[in-house]
Chains A and B, each alone.
Chain A
Amino acid sequence: MGITRRDFFKLSAAGSASLMAGEALASDGAQTALNPNSLGVLVDTVACIGCRKCEWACNDANALPTQDLKAFEDKSVFARHRRPDAGAYTVVNQFSDPRDPSKKYSMKIQCMHCNRPACASACIVGALQKTPEGPVVYDAWKCIGCRYCMVACPFQIPAYEYDNALNPQVRKCTFCATRLSQEGKKPACVAICPNEALTFGKREDLLIAAHSRINASPEKYVDHVYGETEAGGTGWLYLAGADFNNTELPKLTATVIPNLTETIQHGVFKSFVPPLALYGLLGLIMHSLRAEKNGKEESRHE
């Protein structure tokens, strides 16, 4: 390998310059504050009557396979806990108050549209993204189908079209993002809810409304707005009449889920310094040991 030390440094410099171009990419995005106008929905499970009309409206708005609205009056589905899947972005489940099991609450489950979504942080191509308006949206065209979002989601929401061989997609609540932005409407589930158990608005206003509902009827609500802090805050917020531990919503701390991986990631790639330093170090070792060896060989030849 006929190369001088000077050549080596020249090459390393050229390499680092080209890598530097990617620096902005590696360091961006970690701590973006939530848009104060970010939208959300407040789910009041005390006001929810479990009529399942949101399920129908969701299927209808998202062109999912569905049945007649009347078919959703069937309450026997509450016998088991259902989860959203590729054919249903939202489902209503029932849970009972442990203090009085005859007291039943209904709870709608869908994507929480986290402030700092783990799915979007995990996504290899940015097919899942948190929009400034609030919804976490999916772009099937970008998606490669690795399903890392499903591993990452702390609410286990993204579902997959496993039975589609050619064009499978990740399916989850869209927050009716196109209805919101292009038609200026509320999400389909919110619009149909007869009891207005779903309230649509700015997340900040919803938090005020949620606390004010708790304060006005402390006998009806537990003093906890689920999603205010959970996983760093979620766009969809929940009120309940009994402890959230009895619901399907997982117990989460305020820690932003993708914080740790992003910190590790950005630490390893901080301005590409650590990889380049390693590269330089290894080059130096290689070069110096070679010189040492050559010297020995020469002396042996003499």
Chain B
Amino acid sequence: MALTALTIQFLQMLLVLALAPLLTGFVRMVKARLLRRKGPPLLQPYQDLLRLLGKHAVVAENASWLFRVAPYLIFGATWVAAALVPTFASGLIFSWSADLIGIIGLLATARFFLALAGMDVGTSFGGIGSSREMMIATLAEPAMLMIVFTLALIAGSTQLSVIAQVFAMDGVGLRVSLGLALVALILIALAENARIPVDNPATHLELTMVHEAMVLEYSGRHLAMIDLAAMLKLLLYVSLIGCVFVPWGIASPTSGPLGYILGLLLYPLKLVIGGVLLALFETSIAKMRVFRVPQFLGIALMLGFLGTLLLFVSRSF
């Protein structure tokens, strides 16, 4: 029994790692098609990562050990966080080691080190990226926590597995607060993953860039680790929205082998739908100025806050 549980947990860890570049590649492909471009092939991100891994790491002369350690820490923290989000199965053997607040905390740890790494070489681009990233974080993190409050108050738990099970089985129904939380979560997911309209994952040498400015000095295997962490983070957010708002088909420990197979089949489908929606959204909106981002995320914060407040007023909202 314990062995099966361990296997499933291990499978989940490998699954998120294996699928993360695919999701990014898929979003890029759909975006390209929507723009009537051919675009890179679906598996391009894997090739990029392999190529980067094989290259020499070019490190600035004055870079400290932190610069070289940070990519691995960021990758580790993000991978652990992504592995704790139920994808095809809930109630995994290690799911109790961190709840949703813990997952957000892990992402915050990754961000902390990424921002430090951006400041390590002492270039102006690194500083601009780090300071803007932290500014975005000061809005996105409280907004995310408000969403956690909303979900936790409905489900009576901050444990993501329990939330998914409650939402799938008990039929919490359509709720105002959940609607607010969904919109807020999408806004945050866009900001956290450096997507348009907050940031552009495909630009360089533009004064509005945030994430790319921080990682500008990275190359080779270090850059591969950071890119992989960013892909994992995108997968994490899509999985998170999936497991909370479309929790159907996620296997629970009681559902038997057939349930797991169903979960494994449905999960890629959810990713595909999430990827298409993301690509559609990104191609239909323009990048905004960096000081418009507070207003954008302020909406998310207010929506999350409103959802929580409604639940404090009455549990039935």
- Do A and B associate with each other? no
- B residues with a Cβ closer than 8 A to A are none
